[in-house]
Amino acid sequence: MTASIPFVKMNGLGNDILVVDGRTVPTGLTADAIRRLSPRAGGIGFDQVVTLEPDPAGADVFMRIANADGGEVEACGNAARCIADRLFAETGAASLSINTLGGRLSARRRDDGIVAVDMGHARFGWQDIPLARPVDDTMAVGGVAAAEAAGLGPGSVANVGNPHIVYWVEDPDAIDLARLGPEIEHDALFPNRINATLAHVVDRARIDVRVWERGAGLTRACGTAACATAALAAHTGRTGRQVTIGLPGGDLEIAIGDDRSILMAGPVATDFTGALDPVAGTFVFDGTPEPAAAG
Ligand SMILES: N[C@@H](CCC[C@H](N)C(=O)O)C(=O)O
């Protein structure tokens, strides 16, 4: 029996994030335990778990990220806002740096209370994503069998710390992303798998999206997908550089710089707290309200 560790369950626009603190003592959270804890039925219910750690490179904190399937990944936009919000409350600071496997981010609380995160730069090279083979134009990538069979046009790819493909469609709700998502995620073109977005450009300042997340499935919001979509839309001239990305869970504001830098802003919330066994994957809630039903 391992010692239990406290957790805080948060969300960014309904993207469910579990936060554990390994800054003083390593949490020992295993991938098996994450898989047991992540389901909404019978578990805590989250899309990603983030572990706060000291950063050897000197940022205020290192954010280690794992998907619901237990796999470690490089970036999570909603988690970045969640932990910034938490650390601002803890320290009273109004800005901080966050290191991740996908690069160093910086966060600040705006005057209106919203957390804004500088998410780094979008990269569009086929090796950056990475793709399994060179393509002439990463803004129009074909050859993904499931997407082609479903009648989607070519997708645009970007790495914003993690890999994304965006398909430009008229009506994201008319496409069965629950069925297509896993097939796109696991297509041989994507050696590290991929996050897949269906994006409808409403006008030059708004895009509505639905996202299938690598390692987590359909989510109510994905911050990095919003960043990738905005960067790709600006790069291909579909929109301007300042856009609102509409997700099932709500809106994110994204601003793209001339150098492809990405600034993301949006709300976060704290849901409940508890304690978990980092090896057995068992847990107890110690706060109210109880977790919400699956959304
Ligand atoms: N929900 C996240 C993205 C989490 C990681 C992603 N599923 C991946 O595997 O790259 C976000 O808000 O960005």
Give the pLDDT of residue 3.
86
Please count the helices (runs of H) and the strands (runs of E) in the chain: 5, 18
Give the pLDDT of residue 286.
87
Domains 5-114+268-285 and 121-262 share a fold: yes
Please give the structure tokens belonging to residue 75: 């970036």
Give the pLDDT of residue 109.
97
Name 90's Cβ contacts closer than 8 Å, sequence gap at least 6: none
Query: What is the position in ligand 1's atom list of the atom closest to the CA of 78?
Result: 12
Please give the structure tokens belonging to residue 1: 């029996």
Please state, in angstroms and rounded to a whole number, the distance separating the CA atoms of residues 75 and 80: 8
Give the pLDDT of residue 49.
98
Nearest to 249 by CA among 219, 217, 290: 219
Answer yes or no: pTM beyond 0.80.
yes
Architecture of 5-114+268-285 per CATH? Roll (3.10)
3-state secondary structure of 157: strand
Is 159 within any annotated ligand binding site? no
Q: Give yes or no for a contact between 46 and 272, defined as CB atoms under 8 angstroms apart.
A: no
Average pLDDT per block of 10 residues along the chain, 295 residues long: 91 98 98 98 97 98 98 98 98 97 98 98 98 98 98 98 98 98 98 98 98 98 98 98 98 98 98 97 80 46
Residue spans per domain, the chain: 5-114+268-285, 121-262
Annotated catalytic residue 222: yes
Give the pLDDT of residue 2.
80
Taking CA atoms only, the protein residue closest to ligand 1 atom 9 is 214
Output the ligand 1 site: residues, CB below 6 A. Answer: 15, 47-48, 67, 73, 76-78, 162, 195, 213-216, 219, 222-224
Taking phi over 0 as left and psi of -120 to 50 as alpha, with beta for the rest, 215 belongs to left
CATH domain 121-262 topology: Diaminopimelate Epimerase; Chain A, domain 1 (3.10.310)
Please state, in angstroms and rounded to a whole number, the distance separating the CA atoms of residues 213 and 161: 14
Annotated catalytic residue 76: yes
Q: List, in sequence order, the alpha helices (H) in 29-94.
A: 31-37, 77-91
Give the pLDDT of residue 290.
55
Please state, in angstroms and rounded to a whole number, the distance separating the CA atoms of residues 266 and 281: 31
3-state secondary structure of 267: coil
Name 127's Cβ contacts closer than 8 Å, sequence gap at least 6: none
DSSP label of 141: B
Of these residues, 76, 119, 196, 207, which one is catalytic? 76
DSSP label of 32: H
